[in-house]
Chain A
């Protein structure tokens, strides 16, 4: 059974091709490429990726303009029907701005753009996106962002932790994120946003292939639910 995925491209996206290559390598099927101005997604999608970059030049706030683009209305509708949605980096910012995930991504606590490989702890290994990892496993994945400082009020943070919705935590100092949160899930568990780039850690030549299991988790989940 072919894995039907889509990668959304906004003006200013720059990780869309990496995401498409990663999805094709892991699933053996090239994803659909969807433009921000489209108002419909292809039918029968198994996975939607909102990639990193600087959509709309980060005007207003990172992800703010993209979150109000025509295609995001279709992504919000698909997420509501249970289609898995992954937002990476700017994609995470877009998903929070679109209201699909709680909280906000603020300027890094150290002001500077952070571009390095970081250690992440897999906090929840039961989710659709993380089942191929083990709980507490430490993986290495690159980050590259200016606005990755996760913020939510204390009550929201407590709820996220209590419901197992923190997918990944930084295992080293990165950007000042509340409780070192690197990736969060929505309530239904079918939307994941994360600042680190799993699509940049797919094969040995990348220096780490620890991101691969994230895509394998999603594909395995689909096969098992079919």
Chain B
């Protein structure tokens, strides 16, 4: 019986890890970041001037997936381009 953690099919070319960092655009107010900042100060840490909350997506993709395709995934779904920017980072296998 095949378990839940069955190894992915590795016969279809090697895969690589891609990170998509999504962050709020400059000038967009970030109530969550502000609350986190407040909590950091509440823990007694000083010297933190600002906090902006974002998201990190880790994608396991075939090496054949192009930069243009990754761009499309990020701009059409992972980030809301009205309020967010994204940065794509290929981090290797």
Contact = CB atoms under 8 A, between A and B. Distances in A.
A68 interface: yes
A104 B80 contact: yes
Interface residues of B, number: 10
Contact of A97 (B28, B78, B80): B80
Contacts of A106: 28-29, 31, 83
B35 A176 contact: no
Contacts of B83: 104, 106, 151
Contact of A107 (B32, B78, B80): B32
Interface in A84-112: 96-97, 102-104, 106-111
B31 A110 contact: yes
B68 interface: no
A109 B28 contact: no
Residue from B28, B31, B35 whose CB has the most chain A CB atoms within 10 Å? B31
A115 interface: no
Contacts of A104: 80, 82-83
Nearest to A61: B80
B31 A149 contact: yes
